Each structure stands twice: as C-alpha cells, then as structure tokens.
C-alpha cells in the first residue's frame, strides 16, 4: 500500500468536507486504488471555529507557506478561494513541483494561462474537477471519456443559486426579489448575491469548459454575460404557457473554427432533459460528434458534493505522482493552441422571445412587424394579452433565427416608437440544434 501525504490550504466549508470524507472513506479509497490518503497539514487563519471534525494535535496551522514547503507533503489542496493570495500559494506550490488540487473557478478563469504554464514548466499538474459543476465529474468525462470527440456544443446550468431561484419563482409565482431574500435567509444565496445572480460565477465555469473543449485558455471578456437579476415573473409565466422553462445557461458552441460562448437566461423547451433540472442542482449537456447528446447532473455546490470532487482529484493526482506522470492531460489540454478564434457576439444566430407593451391599436403591431422584417427577423408566433397598463397590450413575439446585431438594432428602433410604452424584454430561445 502506497501513501499520499496531503496539505490543505483553507479549512472552510469545502475543506471541512474533504477532511471529513477522507476520515470516513479513506480506507475504502485505499482499498479501491492502492493509495492511502493522509492529511498531514491544514492551513487556515481561523484556528478556533469548530468544524465538527477531530484533528490530531499539530495538523492545523496558520502558516500556509510552511505547508507548501513541507517536504513531508506530496500535494497541495487549495480551497481558500479568491484570486489574490490563492494565486500566490498555487504558483509557489507549482514551482516546487507539487501538484495542486483546487475548486477555485474564479482563479482559473482569470489566471488560468499563467497557472497551466507554470504547472507545465515545472512538470506537475493542476486538478480542478471541483471548479465546475461541484460534485459532477464533468471535466473528467469531457477530457477522458469524450477524448475522441470534437465538441460541438456545451450547455450548462452551472449556478445552483440561480437555478434554485428560478425553480421557486416558477413553483410559487412570487417575484424575484422576494425569492432572493428568502434564499439568502435560507443560505442558498450569498450576501451580496452579485457573483451568482449576475452570471459571473456561471461565466467562470463556462470559460473553463470552453478552454478544455477547444484547447486554449478562454479569457473572460470572450464571454458576454447576462444574469437573472430582476427577471420578471411575467417572463416565467409566459415561458410556461409557451411550453418553455427559463434557465440561466452557459452556451458554448464550436462553429466552423470559431468558438461562441455566452451566459444568459434562456427559454428551453420543457421536453428537453436540461429543463428537468430543478432546485440547486447543476447539469452540463455536452454534444460530441461521435457520442451525440450526453448529460451530467448533480449537486453543483456544498460541503460534501464539492468535497467528493476534490477527493476524486486528490486520488488522481496521487496516482499521477506515484507513477511519475508529471504534467497531466488536465493541463496539457488547456495548452494545445496559442489562441482561439471567437465568433463575434453580433453575428450569433438565435431565436428570441420578445415582450412588448404596445398601444392597443391595429397599427402598433404593423410598425413592429415592419421593423422586424427590415432586420430579417422572421416571426414564429405572436400572442397578445391585456397589458397591466390601461390601453396597452402585452404582446409576445417568438422569432425565427436571426443575427444578434439585427435584434439589437430592431429593438432600438422599437424602443423609440410612440406606440411602444416600456422597454421591450428580450430573451434567447435555445432549441439545442
């Protein structure tokens, strides 16, 4: 039986989950893999909070650098989070040739290139399954199981907080702000909730998925981001009536050598698998040229699910270390190409849902139709209802596919129409084609 000696930086929620998991299932893991995991040191500035875990004397320390440098430690688990001190620590460990396991999506999204390069230069690895989709083994599936596939598209529900809020808005018919406040009280949403509800956390994960799919670090500014803040319950109920559900999606497509990606709330058909993903669950839908449609589903966050992913990576890093593998595919796959080409967001073709508030006269819709037509936006359906404002109708248009730039221009024109009362609401319809 071989032994792997682990140093953990950060003893918060996930750190505690990892230690608890190793204490509970370490013997089973050793039986399965032939490698016995031993937590040698844990660094955290907070030495007093009770995490409900008994540790031998001397394991907990405030000195992260001493853990990294400890010759008795084979690999480093970075669970501090953030992009400042975590970056410093990770670079330090890599430069000592020590593999680093991390759940830090923000750090990889912002500084991935530097980190992957440093790992490669020092013949070691970074393992980051836990950074995307929590406990779901999505990156492992993508890089190993689907290694023979050209990735055609990836659709992800990657933020449990947003999915929880959307699910409750649907079920309870209550407004966004009320559900958000309740979610914060229940611990399902952070305070402030910005990173989650504005889509940034989803975008961090999207660029990691896209980087792995297409072989080079994707910068955050290649990913237009729109969150769900202030989503009206009217959109939720309109979607329902039209046979759709609204999900905050990461959308990644490889299109004739160009990568298109975005994060945005989208209408998804109720009949599609990904529409069945409720509550705080995550799912990633991957389409490969050989395998066709696949989907991976599970808890996207939390002490034990994320801990499960970190432990999977610890055991992989341990095996790589013991077999002298040096730099693993999780790093080399991110550095296949120097640069990727990105489709211009303005050229992305999509279907849209557009809700308008129009003066209730026949000519109103004529004007809208004329503008859409001039911008090559075909209309798939129109439904009209009594609007909330007297004399105005609420009109919902579902379009055929058209270019994003045309939608933007058309909406600008509609906006200044005298018959149009409020700013039109527009959302993508994703048919997964």
Residue 129 is a binding residue for its own copies (CB under 8 A): yes
Cα-to-chain-centroid distance, residue 396: 30
How far apart (Å, rounded) are the C-alpha atoms in residues 413 and 407?
A: 10
- 33 to 52, contacts with its own copies by CB under 8 A? 33-34
The region of 129-137, 158-166, 220-228, 422-430 touching its own copies under the rule CB under 8 A is 129-137
SS3 call for 183: helix
Cα-to-chain-centroid distance, residue 46: 29
The region of 133-141, 185-193, 202-210, 375-383 touching its own copies under the rule CB under 8 A is 133-141
> Which ranges of 122-232 does DSSP label H, i.e. alpha helix?
138-140, 160-172, 176-186, 194-197, 200-214
Residue 31 is a binding residue for its own copies (CB under 8 A): yes
Encoded tokens for 34 = 């032939």
Complex with its own copies: residue 22 or 42, whichever CB lies closer: 22
Q: How is 190-216 classified by DSSP, letter by letter?
A: -SS-HHHHTSHHHHHHHHHHHHHHHTS
Residue 227 is a binding residue for its own copies (CB under 8 A): no
Of 98, 105, 205, 321, the catalytic one is 205
How far apart (Å, rounded) are the C-alpha atoms in residues 123 and 229?
A: 43
Complex with its own copies: residue 13 or 294, whichever CB lies closer: 294
Is residue 205 flagged as an active site residue?
Answer: yes
Residue 93's nearest CA partner among 46, 127, 45, 59 is 127
How far apart (Å, rounded) are the C-alpha atoms in residues 99 and 115?
A: 11
Residue 336 is a binding residue for its own copies (CB under 8 A): yes
The torsion angles phi and psi of 10, rounded to 5 degrees, stand at 105, 115
Least Å from the CB of residue 7 to its own copies? 18
Q: Which of 74, 78, 198, 316 binds its own copies (CB under 8 A)?
A: 316
**Region of 133 on the Ramachandran plot (φ > 0 left; ψ -120 to 50 alpha; else beta):** left
Least Å from the CB of residue 174 to its own copies? 21
The region of 274-282, 345-353, 385-393, 415-423 touching its own copies under the rule CB under 8 A is 274-282
Least Å from the CB of residue 33 to its own copies? 6
Complex with its own copies: residue 107 or 138, whichever CB lies closer: 138
Please report, as ranges, the residues that interact with its own copies according to CB under 8 A: 17, 21-22, 24-25, 28-29, 31-34, 129, 135-137, 140-141, 143-150, 215, 273, 276-277, 281, 288-299, 304-305, 307-309, 311-312, 315-316, 319, 323-325, 329, 332-333, 336
List the catalytic residues.
205
């Amino acid at each position: 039986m071989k032994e792997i000696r682990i140093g953990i930086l950060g003893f918060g929620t996930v750190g505690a989950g990892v230690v608890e998991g190793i204490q509970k299932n370490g013997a089973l893991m050793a039986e399965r893999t032939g490698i016995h995991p031993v937590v040698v040191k844990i660094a955290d500035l907070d030495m007093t909070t009770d995490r409900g875990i008994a540790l031998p004397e001397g394991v907990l320390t405030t000195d992260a650098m001493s853990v990294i440098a400890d010759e008795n430690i084979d690999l480093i688990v970075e669970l501090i989070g953030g992009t400042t001190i975590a970056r410093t620590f990770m670079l330090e460990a890599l430069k000592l040739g020590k593999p680093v396991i991390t759940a830090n999506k923000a750090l990889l999204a912002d500084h991935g290139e530097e980190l992957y390069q440093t790992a490669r230069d020092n013949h070691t690895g970074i393992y980051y399954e836990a950074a995307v989709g929590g406990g779901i083994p999505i990156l492992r599936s993508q890089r190993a199981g689907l290694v023979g596939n050209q990735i055609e598209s990836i659709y992800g529900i990657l933020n449990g907080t947003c999915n929880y809020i959307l699910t409750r808005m649907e079920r309870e018919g209550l407004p966004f702000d009320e559900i958000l406040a309740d979610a914060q009280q229940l611990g399902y949403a952070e305070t402030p909730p910005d990173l989650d509800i504005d889509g940034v956390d989803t975008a961090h994960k999207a660029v990691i998925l896209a980087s792995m799919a297409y072989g080079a670090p994707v910068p955050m500014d290649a990913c237009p981001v729109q969150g769900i803040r202030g989503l009206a319950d009217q959109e939720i109920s309109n979607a329902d009536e039209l046979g759709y559900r609204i999900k905050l999606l990461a959308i990644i497509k490889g299109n004739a050598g160009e990568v298109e990606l975005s994060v945005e709330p989208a209408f998804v058909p109720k009949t599609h698998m990904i529409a069945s993903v409720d509550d705080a669950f995550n799912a990633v839908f991957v389409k490969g040229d050989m395998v066709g449609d696949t989907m991976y589903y599970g808890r996207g966050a939390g002490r034990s699910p994320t801990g499960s992913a970190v432990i999977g990576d610890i055991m992989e890093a341990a095996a790589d270390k013991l077999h002298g593998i040096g730099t693993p595919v999780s790093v080399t796959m991110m550095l296949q190409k120097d640069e990727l080409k990105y489709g211009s967001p303005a050229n992305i073709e999509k279907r849209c849902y557009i809700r308008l508030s129009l003066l209730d006269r026949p000519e109103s819709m004529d004007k809208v139709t004329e503008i859409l037509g001039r911008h090559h936006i075909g209309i798939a359906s129109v439904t009209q209802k009594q609007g909330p404002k007297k004399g105005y109708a609420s009109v919902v248009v579902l379009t055929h596919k058209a270019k994003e730039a045309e939608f933007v221009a058309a909406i600008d024109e509609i906006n200044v129409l005298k018959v149009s009362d409020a700013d039109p609401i527009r959302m993508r319809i994703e048919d997964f084609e």
